[in-house]
Amino acid sequence: MVGTGVVASDTLVGIATGSPDGGVAIVRLSGPRARAIAEAQVGALPAPRVLGLRNLAGEAILVAWMPGPRSFTGEDVVELHIHAGACNVASVLELMLAAGASAAGPGDFSRRAFEHGRLSLDQVEGIAALIGARTQAALAQAKRLVAGELGREVEVVRAALEQLRIEVEANLDFPEDVAAADELRWADECQHLQAELERWLARYEAGRRARAKPRVVLAGPPNAGKSALFNALLGRRRALVSAQPGTTRDFVEAELTIAGRELTVVDTAGLRPSDDILERAGVELGREQLAGADLVLWIEGSDQPTRPDWQREREAIADTEVPTIAVENKADLGRQRPTWLGVSAIDPATLEPLRAAISGALGEPGEGWIGLARHRDRAHEAKLALAEAREQLQASAGLELVAFALAQAQQRVGEITGHTGLGPIGATMLDAIFSRFCIGK
Ligand SMILES: Nc1nc2c(ncn2[C@@H]2O[C@H](COP(=O)(O)OP(=O)(O)OP(=O)(O)O)[C@@H](O)[C@H]2O)c(=O)[nH]1
Ligand SMILES: [Mg+2]
């Protein structure tokens, strides 16, 4: 059985193009009867991997025929390029289902690609990440996953673990013959592999950060001109600006590119105690935004004398390790805080140094590890298993326990690519991975 109750020998049909619709939609058939089902509808198929013009229920369509195993899924695949549009696509799917195909569930095509050895799990997850990428950095990392870069790194460690485990297992029958030097070498090897896994884990967060859009949060007292500055950075009137303190209630966020880096900027309510229940709620929302910030612009207006409670707020943010830039807005009205970065929301020329400061404070996105959260989790479990193996070796607790812990480590590392060397991956794990994919993927 593969996902969603479809039998492995079934021929799947699903829409391979995403929404919103473009001009063309691609309906994909995959499985042993793909050719027969398609030919019953459109006549003889064109030569492999050559688009042919055919007629499907009165519509001129293009057909591509990719015989297995040289196809995405590794099975016989037919793709029908039809006019897009929900109704049209649904009617073509209906035709294929009536002709004997089964509806593809989430990730079913990718799952078959994995099960037929076309792609490893990390590569399939890379395709999903590529489709879901919202930043150039995320896209670049996803492409490296698809190209198998992570898989190769993982396979080196998996193979080393396997070799070590086999060597230990070979001594299970005569543990008294094991030389002390061998045990030391095994412990060294465990330590070496554990260090490698720790390097992956240490670089995971940097990789995740590099993929994500940094959040730059504008905060400060009411009337400092946060919203005016927010609008000035965006180059359009997105947030309300007024001379009345307490204008912004809900936080407002927008996408912005600074020095080629995509980021999210967030305007928040001015921080002050208030009797107004809505204003208090707004301040609360603003504080939540501060907690998730990658950079805070603390903004005060040059027409506002600074106050001890503002200073306390600013210092509390600085204590959280989130980088903060102190910005004095309304520099056109004079300066009170000469060490702060002076800007004016009504003078675009002053925004350039602000952009430079934002870009500098965020720093270059670190290279990081391209592994995704699931890969990190497996690497972490493998690391724990290796630590266990080392402890057992040091305690001379018995080679069975060492071999068992090494097998665990090998299993976990192998689950990153789906190739453990210890038998097939469990269906439950595959269900969990592929159920997060979209239908048609
Ligand atoms: N002269 C001058 N006035 C500004 C500047 N920036 C904002 N203002 C004025 O300052 C007032 C407050 O601006 P807002 O942007 O609404 O201030 P805010 O910090 O968002 O205020 P809250 O949302 O209430 O927290 C408005 O009257 C703006 O026109 C500036 O750079 N120079
Ligand atoms: Mg505001």
pLDDT of residue 5: 55
6: confidence class by pLDDT, cuts 50, 70, 90: low
Please indicate whether the domains covering 3-120 and 148-418 agree at the CATH topology level. Answer: no
pLDDT of residue 212: 87
Determine the distance separating the centroid of ligand 1 and the alpha carbon of 326, expressed in angstroms.
16
Examine the pLDDT at 3 and tell me if it is beyond 70: no
Determine the distance separating the centroid of ligand 1 and the alpha carbon of 410, expressed in angstroms.
60
pLDDT of residue 2: 42
DSSP output for 312-375:
HHHHHHHHTT--EEEEEE-GGG--S-TTSEE--TT-GGGHHHHHHHHHHHH-SPP------HHH
Q: Give the angle subtended at the CA of 379 by the CAs of 3 and 366, to the nearest 5°.
A: 110
Question: In testing the pocket of ligand 1, which one of 223, 283, 304, 330 has its CB within 8 Å of the most ligand atoms?
Answer: 223
Domain boundaries, the chain: 3-120, 148-418
CATH code: domain 3-120 is: 3.30.1360.120
Question: In testing the pocket of ligand 1, which one of 218, 241, 327 has its CB within 8 Å of the most ligand atoms?
Answer: 241
Arithmetic mean of pLDDT, 380-386:
98
Q: What is the rounded average pLDDT for all residues in the chain?
A: 93
Q: Which of 416, 326, 338, 414 is nearest to 370 (CA)?
A: 416
Arithmetic mean of pLDDT, 346-365:
93
pLDDT of residue 50: 97
Please write the tens of the pLDDT for every residue from 97-114. Answer: 999 999 999 899 999 999
Choice between 170 and 396, residue whose per-residue pLDDT is larger: 170
Q: Which atom number of ligand 1 is nearest to the Cα of residue 343?
A: 31
Examine the pLDDT at 65 and tell me if it is beyond 90: yes
Q: Return all residues near 325 (Cβ < 8 A) that are at least 6 apart.
A: 295, 296, 297, 298, 341, 357, 358, 361
Examine the pLDDT at 1 and tell me if it is beyond 60: no
Percent of the chain with pLDDT over 70: 98
pLDDT of residue 20: 63
CATH code: domain 148-418 is: 3.40.50.300
Arithmetic mean of pLDDT, 177-189:
91
pLDDT of residue 365: 74
Arithmetic mean of pLDDT, 197-205:
95
- The neighbourhood of ligand 2, an ion, using CB within 5 A, equals 226-227, 247-248
Arithmetic mean of pLDDT, 375-389:
98
